[in-house]
Amino acid sequence: MKHLLAIEQLSRAEIDAILDRAESFAEVSRRDIKKVPTLRGRTVVSLFYEASTRTSSSFELAAKRLSADLVSIKAAGSSVDKGESLKDTVATLSAYDPAAIVIRHPHAGAAQLVAEWSDAVVINAGDGKHEHPSQALLDLFTLRRQLGALDGKRIWIVGDVLHSRVARSNLIAFQAMGAQVTLCGPPALIPRGIEELGCEVSHSLDGLGEADVVYALRLQKERMKESFVPSIREYAANFQIDSRRLGARQLLMHPGPVNRGVELSGEVIDSPHSLISEQVASGLVVRMAILYELLAVGGAHPAPAEGDPGERPTPMGQPA
C-alpha cells in the first residue's frame, strides 16, 4: 500500500492491519506521554481545500503524536486563493520533500492526481463526492470495538447518499468486512445505478428494524432549494432517525456535523445507542495508524537520509 486514495483499493487484510495498528495506538493514547518518535524529522503536509474540523484536526494531531513536522495549508488565505492550480501548488510543496501529503479537495480524483505529481505518500482526506477512506476506516474501527467482526451484520446508511463521499466509502468498507448494506433515502438523493455496487436500496424506513447499525448522513438544508426534497419537515417526517424508529439493540452512527432535528432527533444523539463521540475518538488513533502503516511500515520512504538523527521507527508495543 503506497497511498491511501480510496477504500476500493484496499484488501480486507490491509484494512485489518490498519485497524490492528489503531488498537495499539489506542493503548498509547491512554498513557501520560502520548507521543511516539516514529516520524521524527519527516514532514507531513496537510492541504485542505475545504472547510473541515474533525478530519483536519485529527490528522494534524495524529502527525504530531508521531513526532512529524507539520505544514498545514488551508485554501483560504493561501496562493490557492490567488488562482494557483493544484498541480503548481503540489510542485511548490514538493520543495519541502514531504513524506506525506494529506489532501481534502472539493473534486473527485484530486488525491489521485497529487499522487501522480508528487513523490510523497498521499492520503485522501475526502475528494469531492467520491471517497473519504479515513472516515470509513475509523467507522470500521468504532464498530469492531462494539460488535467484533462485521460478517453478516446489517447496516443501513440513511439520507443524502447522492452528495456523500462518506456513504460511498462506507458502503465499500462495510461490504469488504462482510456486512450487508442497505442505502435508504428519497429517490432523488440515491444515485441511479448504485445498486450495482452490491447493496440494497430502499426509499422507506419501514424495514429499518433489521439493521444492526443505522448510519445517518447529513442533509444540507440547501437541498430543498434544488428540489431534491420538498421540505425539511417532510424529509424529517419520512427519514429522520428518532427514538421511535430506533430499536433497543441498534447502534447509531453519524459522520458529523449533525443537523439536529433534521436527519437525527436530539434525543438519539445523546442516547446510549449513539456512537458519535466514539467515532470522533477513533478518528485520532485510526489516522495515527494510517500514517504509521504508510510511512513507517509501507516502506515508501525507506531509510532516513544521511545526517538525519536516524531514529528508527519504534515498534509498537515497546515503550516509546
Partner 1 sequence: MRPGEGANLVLRGATVLDPAAGIEGTHDVVIRAGEIAELAPPGAGDTDGLEVVEAEGLHAFPAFFDPHVHLRVPGREDEEDVETGTRAAAAGGYCGILAMANTEPSVSTAADIEALREEAREQASVPVGFLATVTREMEGEELTEMADIRAAGAVGFSDDGLPIRSARVMRRALQYQRLCGGTIALHEEDPELSGDGVMHEGPVSAALGLAGIPSVSESTMIARDAALARYEDGRIHVQHLSAEESVAAVRTAKAAGAQISCEATPHHLCLTDEQVRALDASRFKMNPPLRTESDRQALLEGLRDGTIDCIATDHAPHAEEEKTVPFEQAAMGVTGLETAFAALHTDLVLGGVIDLGLLVERLAGGAEPFGLERPTLAPGSEANVALCDLSAKWTVGEEGYESRSSNSWCAGRELNGRVLVTLAGGQVAYRLRSFSLGVAQ
Q: Which stretch binds partner 1 (CB under 8 A): 27-35, 82-90, 232-240, 286-294?
A: 82-90
Residue showing cell 444523539: 269
- Answer yes or no whether residue 196 interacts with partner 1 by CB under 8 A: yes
- Answer yes or no whether residue 112 interacts with partner 1 by CB under 8 A: yes
- Answer yes or no whether residue 227 interacts with partner 1 by CB under 8 A: no
Question: Nearer to partner 1 by C-beta: 55 or 240?
Answer: 55
- CA atoms in the 13 A half-sphere facing the CB of 38: 30
Please give the Cα distance from 6 to 96 (Å, whole number): 25
Binding mask 84-103 for partner 1 (x = CB under 8 A): -xxx----------------
- Answer yes or no whether residue 108 interacts with partner 1 by CB under 8 A: yes
Q: Count residues contacting partner 1 (CB under 8 A)?
A: 23
Q: How far is the CB of 131 from partner 1 (least distance, A)?
A: 7
- Answer yes or no whether residue 83 interacts with partner 1 by CB under 8 A: no
Question: Nearer to partner 1 by C-beta: 110 or 158?
Answer: 110
Q: How far is the CB of 193 from partner 1 (least distance, A)?
A: 4
Of residues 70, 71, 69, 66, the one with CA closest to residue 38 = 66
Whether 44 contacts 294, CB under 8 Å: no
Task: Indicate which single residue of 21, 65, 104, 129 sits in contact with partner 1 (rule: CB under 8 A).
Answer: 129
Q: How far is the CB of 104 from partner 1 (least distance, A)?
A: 12
- Answer yes or no whether residue 219 interacts with partner 1 by CB under 8 A: no
- Answer yes or no whether residue 309 interacts with partner 1 by CB under 8 A: no
Task: Indicate which single residue of 77, 83, 148, 193 sits in contact with partner 1 (rule: CB under 8 A).
Answer: 193
Terminal C-alpha separation, the chain: 25
Task: Indicate which single residue of 168, 218, 273, 287 sits in contact with partner 1 (rule: CB under 8 A).
Answer: 168
- Answer yes or no whether residue 203 interacts with partner 1 by CB under 8 A: no
- Answer yes or no whether residue 201 interacts with partner 1 by CB under 8 A: no
Q: How far is the CB of 185 from partner 1 (least distance, A)?
A: 13
- Answer yes or no whether residue 191 interacts with partner 1 by CB under 8 A: yes
Question: Nearer to partner 1 by C-beta: 227 or 231?
Answer: 227
Q: How far is the CB of 191 from partner 1 (least distance, A)?
A: 4
HEC string of the chain equals CCCECCHHHCCHHHHHHHHHHHHHHHHHHCCCCCCCCCCCCCEEEEEECCCCCHHHHHHHHHHHHCCCEEEEEECCCCHHHHCCCHHHHHHHHHCCCCCEEEEEECCCCHHHHHHHHCCCEEEEEEECCCECHHHHHHHHHHHHHHHCCCCCCEEEEECCCCCCHHHHHHHHHHHHCCCEEEEECCHHHCCCCHHHHCCEEECCHHHHHHCCEEEECCCCHHHHCCCCCCCHHHHHHHHCECCCCCCCCCEEECCCCCCECCCECHHHHCCCCECHHHHHHHHHHHHHHHHHHHHHHCCCCCCCCCCCCCCCCCCCCCCC
Q: Which stretch binds partner 1 (CB under 8 A): 134-142, 189-197, 206-214, 254-262?
A: 189-197
Residues that bind partner 1 (CB under 8 A): 85-87, 105, 107-110, 112-113, 127-131, 165, 168, 191-194, 196-197
